[in-house]
Structures are given as C-alpha cells and as structure tokens.
Amino acid sequence: MRFLQAVLLICSFLSQQKAFSQSENSFVIQNLTVHIGNGSVIDNGFIVVEKGKIAAVGATANFDKNKYPNAIDGQRQHLYPSLIAPNTQLGLVEVEAVRATRDFAEVGHFNPNIRSLIAYNTDSEILPTVRSNGVLIAQTVPQGGRISGQSSMVKLEAFSWEDAVLAADNGVHLNFPNRFHYTGWWAEPGKTQGHKGYSKDVTAIKMYFDEAVAYSQNPNPNPKNLKFEAMKAVLNKKKKLFVHADEARAMLDAIEVLQPYNVDIVFVGALESYLIADVLKKNNIPVVYMGTHELPSNADMDIDQMYKTPFLLQQAGVRYCLGLGGGSWQMRNLPFIAGNTVAYGVSKEEALKSVTLSAAQILGIDAQVGSLEVGKDATFVISRGDILDMQSSVITDAYINGKKVNLDNKQSRLYEKYKSKYKIK
C-alpha cells in the first residue's frame, strides 16, 4: 500500500511538472545575468514565469532543478525588464512626410477629451523596428493646440488597440508657452526675441482651468461638456497633467499657475530643468527629460549640457526618466541615450532604471511593469551584451506578458536581402 502511494505521488509530481512546462505563457529560464531594474543585479540568476506573470526571480544557487527540470538555458545572456518609451507618436504616424499617415493632432486649442488610444495602429511597420531594440511599452501622446488630449500606455505588439492597452487615457497633455523665441541655431545663434503673446496665452490657460473647476463643482451639468468632463480626472488627481515646457522660467510660471488647482504635474521636455532642480525637488515634480540627443537650446549652455543634465537631476534628488525627440522611429535609440548618461556620472543600473522602473513610476504603470519582481507582468528582453551599449547590444528574445515577441522587422529583412546582393566579387 505504501509503495502504491509513493508511485501515485511521483506520478502526480511528474504530471504537475509536465503541466507547468507545457502550459501557455509559463516557462523557466536560468543561467542569466538578471538586471532587476531597480538598481540591483543578480550575476547568475533565473526567472520563473507562470501564466504571463513573474512567479520567481533569484540566484541560480537557490534554483530547484527538481521542481523545474525543463528550464531553458539562458547561456549567460543579460535579462532586462522591457524598456519604456515616454512621449511618443508610435502607432500614430507612419510616414512623417505623408499627411494621410499622420493621426496625432486635432484642430482647436483645448482638447482634453481627445483620446490618442483609438488612433493607435498596431499594424505599423515602425513598431517591430522599435521592439527589436528592447522597447516593448510606449506612451502614445497627442500633439497640437494648448491642451492636446489624453495619452495611454500601450504594448508594442498586439492584435488591436484594445488588446494593446496597459493603462488607458491616464494622462492629459498641456503645451505651456515659452517666454522666448530663439532664432538661428546653436552654432550660429540669432537674436532672442520675447514671446509677445505670452501673457495672453497664460491667461487663457488660467481661464480654462477656472472654467473647468466651476464645471466640476456642478453635480448635474446640463448639457454635458465633453472637454470639461475630461478635465475632472485631472482636477481630482486621477490623471496626471503632463506639462510640455523646456525653459526654466516657463516651468516656474507653470508651477505658479497650476498650484492653485492642486494637479499632479509631470514636466516633459524640460531642457533647462537642471536650473530649477531645487524647486522641482521641493514640489516633488518629476521630469520626462527629452534632451539627451539634442543640441544645446541656447548659446549660454555648455556644449555637453544635454548629456550632463540627467546626472544633475539625480544629484538633486529629482525623479526623472528619459525620452527622445521625434516621437516615432527614433524610439529604437532609447537604450543608447540612457547609455550616454553613464559617461557623465550616472551608474549603469541607474541609467537602466531611467528607462525602466523610473519611467513606469512616472507614467503610472509601476504596479505592472518596470522591474523584474514577483507579481508583475512577464514583459522583458534578453540581450547577448549590454543593452545600453550600441556595439554589444543584440536582443535575442523578448516577451510581453510571457508571450514571445517576434523580433523580425522590415529593416532586418532588407538588410538580409541586400547585404550579399551587391557583394563585390
């Protein structure tokens, strides 16, 4: 009887192992250098994925080979959480020179009700080129006007925009006016001109927020105003207000103008944020810094100021993440702008954090992604080398919610096609 019980227990254990190894979105990979995303690294580690979620992460020394006999050998590659691209037009524009493929802006000045999500094109040929460099999650952002509309967090591989949603309509975007207009460019600067309509534009913003507050205090507005309905979530802090501004003085004005409304501010662009780092820290305002691959915005800046700013923000205790100007195909360079900051004082793991966990926290999705922690989505990438290094980074595998992502793209196919077609004999 005892022998029969032992046999039944063994058979039950083996069936469980078989069920685990064959179930959808469930697998184990060991023998990896695991970059958690929060600043820590496991030199020789493993990850367990169950039903699209991270079930365990740890050192190989603690790995139970009997429990996971079918573990995949990671061959000492590097495991990273998915990189997260903020402030993009991915899926909203296909060919920048062709108007019919651009769907990121609406007419009018104040459009908080506009949703970029429903325009997100999951069949865009640009998305695979970005995925192949480790960027699996992005913020789709509308443009134009004073208030552009609402952004969403999406996965860069999905059947439809409904399937792509990670966080729907969780931010509203305000384009704050600049105080100055710079002519010429950095190498040949022209005259700096004041923005003549600056006060008028700021007053218009104040009036709009005052009207939105008045509307929100009416329990039964009749008729309903869709634009002011969309502002309710900003005024009660259910949605963040992403304020696009580059100049230090414009950012200070934005803080002063918006403080009475008690909104949750995130600055986007923020090229001169290093000048007011103490104010940002005091007011607990995070920054989506977009300037690492930009030229200095004026002649008074150091030539390498754009590279130094992330380290200065870090030293001041300002929460920040990194983004790229351009908004679509340029997002494939996201890991490399983080790598640039390493040369100017930021540690490698802190640089990684600026495009993973810090981005997730600022964009409001850190409960789901951003780091390799138990309970979060199994959305990560595997690279042969350092993902932040242009020379060594080769993404071999990527997963979204435990599902393997196809890394093939049009550019890689064209490369394979033409690399030997015109070979010199």
The answer, yes or no, to whether residue 1 has pLDDT greater than 60, is no
Lowest mean pLDDT segment, chosen from 67-76, 155-164, 322-331: 322-331
* Count of the separate structural domains present in the chain: 1
Of 12-21, 24-33, 314-323, where does the model show the most confidence? 314-323
The answer, yes or no, to whether residue 20 has pLDDT greater than 60, is no
Residue 421 lies in a domain: no
DSSP-assigned beta bridge partners for residue 140:
88, 152
What percent of the chain lies above the pLDDT cut of 90? 71
Amino acid letter, residue 332: R
Q: Tell me the C-alpha distance between 47 and 415, whole Å.
A: 33
pLDDT in tens, 212-244: 999 999 988 888 999 999 999 999 999 999 999
Torsion angles phi and psi, residue 54, rounded to 5: -80, 120
What percent of the chain lies above the pLDDT cut of 70? 93
Write down how long the chain is. Answer: 425
pLDDT of 7 reads: 46
Residue 384 lies in a domain: no
pLDDT of 15 reads: 44
Q: Tell me the C-alpha distance between 149 and 151, whole Å.
A: 7
Mean pLDDT of 355-376: 97
Q: Tell me the C-alpha distance between 269 and 150, whole Å.
A: 17
Q: Tell me the C-alpha distance between 352 and 82, whole Å.
A: 10
Q: Tell me the C-alpha distance between 335 and 354, whole Å.
A: 10
pLDDT in tens, 283-328: 999 999 998 988 887 778 888 999 999 999 999 999 999 999 877 7
pLDDT in tens, 383-405: 999 999 999 999 999 999 999 99
Ramachandran sector of residue 400 (left: φ over 0; alpha: ψ -120 to 50; beta: rest): beta
Residue 56 lies in a domain: no
3-state secondary structure of 99: helix
Residue 175 belongs to domain with CATH number: 3.20.20.140
pLDDT in tens, 142-160: 998 999 999 999 999 999 9
Residue 375 lies in a domain: no
The DSSP symbol for 177 reads P
In DSSP notation, 136-192 reads EEEEE--BSSSEEEEEEEEESS-SSHHHHEEEEEEEEEEEPPPSEEEEE-SSSEEEE
Mean pLDDT of 161-184: 90
pLDDT of 338 reads: 95
On average, the pLDDT of the chain sits at 89
Q: Residues near 10 by Cβ (< 8 Å), separated by ≥ 6?
A: none
pLDDT of 197 reads: 83
DSSP-assigned beta bridge partners for residue 41:
35
pLDDT in tens, 94-143: 877 777 777 777 888 999 999 999 999 999 999 999 999 999 999 999 99
Identify whether the C-beta of residue 202 lies closer than 8 Å to the C-beta of residue 146: no
pLDDT of 24 reads: 59
Residue 45 lies in a domain: no
In DSSP notation, 241-286 reads EEEEE-SHHHHHHHHHHHGGGT--EEEEE-TTGGGGHHHHHHTT--
Note if the bond before 223 is cis, omega within 30 degrees. Answer: yes
pLDDT of 14 reads: 46
pLDDT of 422 reads: 77
Residue 340 lies in a domain: yes
In DSSP notation, 200-227 reads HHHHHHHHHHHHHHHHHT-SS-SS--HH
Identify whether the C-beta of residue 35 lies closer than 8 Å to the C-beta of residue 349: yes
The answer, yes or no, to whether residue 13 has pLDDT greater than 50, is no
Band of residue 374 on the pLDDT scale cut at 50, 70, 90: very high
Helices 226-235, 198-216: crossing angle, 10 deg rounding:
90
Lowest mean pLDDT segment, chosen from 5-14, 78-87, 172-181: 5-14
pLDDT of 3 reads: 52
Residue 214 lies in a domain: yes
Amino acid letter, residue 72: I
The answer, yes or no, to whether residue 359 has pLDDT greater than 60, is yes
Residue 376 lies in a domain: no
Q: How many CB atoms lie within 10 A of CB 119?
A: 18
Q: Which domain holds residue 114?
A: 83-370
pLDDT of 148 reads: 95
Burial of 179 (0-12, 13-18, 19+ CB in 10 A): middle
The answer, yes or no, to whether residue 23 has pLDDT greater than 60, is no
